[in-house]
């Protein structure tokens, strides 16, 4: 009870009009105190929200891809170079790894903006290519070496008094994966580049990613190794019963140009147990249409579709990658591959993407010569098995 209310309660001799006046005065005084407290709390809350808003939009806050202040100059300079060929901004940037502003390429051209490069990289990783299941490493050299241990280090049981015998030593093999230059040459009209509403970086990333992904996907499967990665199907294949290192082992379907459920089971168990845990099937759409009709002896389909969106279909419980560059299921074709591609195939690449603007060769259009360096080859011949559509 307020002081005014107490006085009013104790003032029995006051007239009714005075009591009402005293009560109203006390109520107004209390309300002013209450309003002052509410205004103070609202002001504190507003200050906190403003502080949080400043932190959220502050240019000093560091995002995952690097600081905004550090990345913005490169993006602005790169965009100006793409639109008008103005390279003063790029040349003026210092070689600073933290700001991701490496600019001039000694071979000609400029490094793409980090966001553009990441967009292209994400598209390459998400496309139906061996890249999505193979081992991918970033290198700064012109080649990448894989050391393969063919044998286990010898071991033996020893007793307290008996002499120990010398154990065997492992045999190492070196596989060298050279990097090759992959290029794309999209073009745009100068009028389109002059349009400020046109997203030049997004357009360029999409065109380059489309060209790169298709070229890579084909090379990783059937590339001959001459100025391009060496595909796993380019290596010699032999019957798995006489398999030796340097070749890929195959299992025949037993039917010329066709496949059976038993042959699917055979190729699964032709792969070593240490590889089966991470193994996957690789085939094209036509072959998949044949395989999904196969049933076991109890009438159950070997093929099962993914239960969730973007989840791969499964064959005998193993994921299936639909790679259209795999051969069709015809007589004598190695139309299906099964294996642990993370162990069996290695892709080596430089993480940067370079772009050279050429406004002269195709006037009135402007050409953008984009290049990256990538290589690939089989790194473990025991990790991949093939299913050959033949009797033997």
pLDDT, tens digit, 9 for 90 and up, residues 191-242: 777 776 767 777 777 888 888 888 999 999 999 999 999 999 999 999 999 9
85 or 324, greater pLDDT? 324
DSSP 340-388: -HHHHEEEEE-S--EEEEESSTTTTEEEEEEEEEEEEEES-TTSEEEEE
CA-closest candidate to residue 387, choices 242, 241, 283, 246: 283
Give the model's pLDDT for residue 67: 44
Please state the pTM of the whole predicted model: 0.68
- Residue whose token pair is 């700001």: 99
* Best-predicted range by mean pLDDT (8-12, 24-28, 63-67): 24-28
Give the model's pLDDT for residue 82: 61
Q: Name the percent of the chain lying above pLDDT 90.
A: 39
* Best-predicted range by mean pLDDT (26-35, 154-163, 337-346, 361-370): 337-346
Decide: 137 and 144 in contact? Cβ < 8 Å: yes
Helix spans in 236-277 (H): 261-270, 273-276
Determine if residue 327 is left, alpha or beta; phi over 0 gives left, psi from -120 to 50 gives alpha, anything else beta: beta
Question: CA 247 to CA 269: how far, in whole Å?
Answer: 18
36-67: string of b/e by CB count within 10 Å (b at 16+)? eeeeeeeeeeeeeeeeeeeeeeeeeeeeeebe
Model confidence at 328: pLDDT above 60: yes
Give the model's pLDDT for residue 184: 85
Give the model's pLDDT for residue 322: 92
User: In the chain, which residues fall in CATH 3.90.1690?
Assistant: 81-149+172-392
Report the Cα 187 to chain-centroid distance in Å: 26
Question: CA 230 to CA 178: how far, in whole Å?
Answer: 10
CB-CB neighbours of 139 under 10 Å: 16
Map residue 88 onto helix, strand or coil. helix
Give the model's pLDDT for residue 244: 93
249 or 357, greater pLDDT? 249
CA-closest candidate to residue 357, choices 24, 82, 5: 82
What's the pLDDT band for 165 if we cut at 50, 70, 90?
Answer: low
Question: CA 192 to CA 365: how far, in whole Å?
Answer: 9
Give the model's pLDDT for residue 250: 97
Map residue 182 onto helix, strand or coil. strand
Give the model's pLDDT for residue 323: 92
- Mean pLDDT rounded to a whole number for the chain: 78
| 81-149+172-392 carries CATH number 3.30.70 | no
384-388 vs 248-252, strand pairing mode:
parallel
């Amino acid at each position: 009870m307020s002081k005014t209310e107490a006085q009013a309660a104790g003032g029995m001799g006051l007239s009714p009009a005075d009591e009402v006046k005293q009560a109203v005065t006390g109520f107004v005084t209390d309300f002013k105190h209450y309003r002052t407290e509410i205004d103070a709390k609202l002001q504190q809350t507003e200050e906190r929200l403003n502080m949080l808003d400043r932190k959220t939009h502050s240019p000093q806050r560091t995002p995952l891809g690097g600081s905004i202040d550090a990345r913005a100059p490169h993006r602005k300079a790169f965009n100006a170079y793409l639109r008008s060929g103005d390279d003063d901004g790029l040349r003026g940037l210092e070689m600073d790894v933290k700001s991701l502003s490496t600019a001039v390429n000694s071979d000609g051209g400029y490094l793409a903006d980090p966001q553009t490069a990441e967009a292209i990289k994400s598209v390459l990783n998400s496309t139906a290519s061996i890249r999505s299941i193979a081992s991918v490493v970033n290198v700064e050299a012109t080649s990448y070496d894989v050391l393969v241990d063919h044998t286990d280090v010898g071991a033996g049981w020893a007793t307290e008094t008996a002499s120990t015998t010398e154990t065997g030593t492992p045999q190492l093999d070196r596989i060298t994966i050279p990097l090759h230059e992959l290029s794309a040459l999209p073009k745009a009209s100068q009028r389109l580049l002059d349009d400020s509403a046109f997203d030049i970086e997004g357009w360029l990333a999409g065109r380059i990613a489309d060209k790169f992904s298709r070229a890579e996907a084909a090379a990783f499967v059937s590339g001959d190794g001459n100025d391009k990665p060496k595909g796993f199907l380019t290596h010699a294949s032999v019957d798995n019963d006489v398999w030796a290192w340097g070749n890929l082992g195959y299992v025949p379907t037993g039917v010329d140009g066709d496949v059976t459920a038993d042959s699917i089971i055979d190729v699964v168990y032709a792969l070593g147990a240490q590889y089966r845990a991470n193994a996957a099937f690789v085939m094209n759409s036509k072959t998949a249409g044949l395989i999904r009709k196969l049933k076991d002896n109890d009438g159950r389909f070997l093929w099962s579709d993914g239960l969730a969106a973007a989840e791969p279909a499964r064959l005998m419980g193993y994921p299936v990658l639909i790679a259209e560059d795999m051969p069709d299921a015809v007589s004598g074709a190695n139309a299906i591959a099964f294996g642990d591609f993370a162990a069996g195939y290695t892709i080596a690449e430089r993480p940067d993407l370079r772009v050279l603007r050429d406004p002269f060769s195709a006037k009135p259009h402007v050409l953008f010569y984009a290049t990256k360096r990538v290589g690939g080859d089989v790194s473990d011949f025991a990790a991949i098995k093939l299913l050959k559509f033949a009797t033997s």
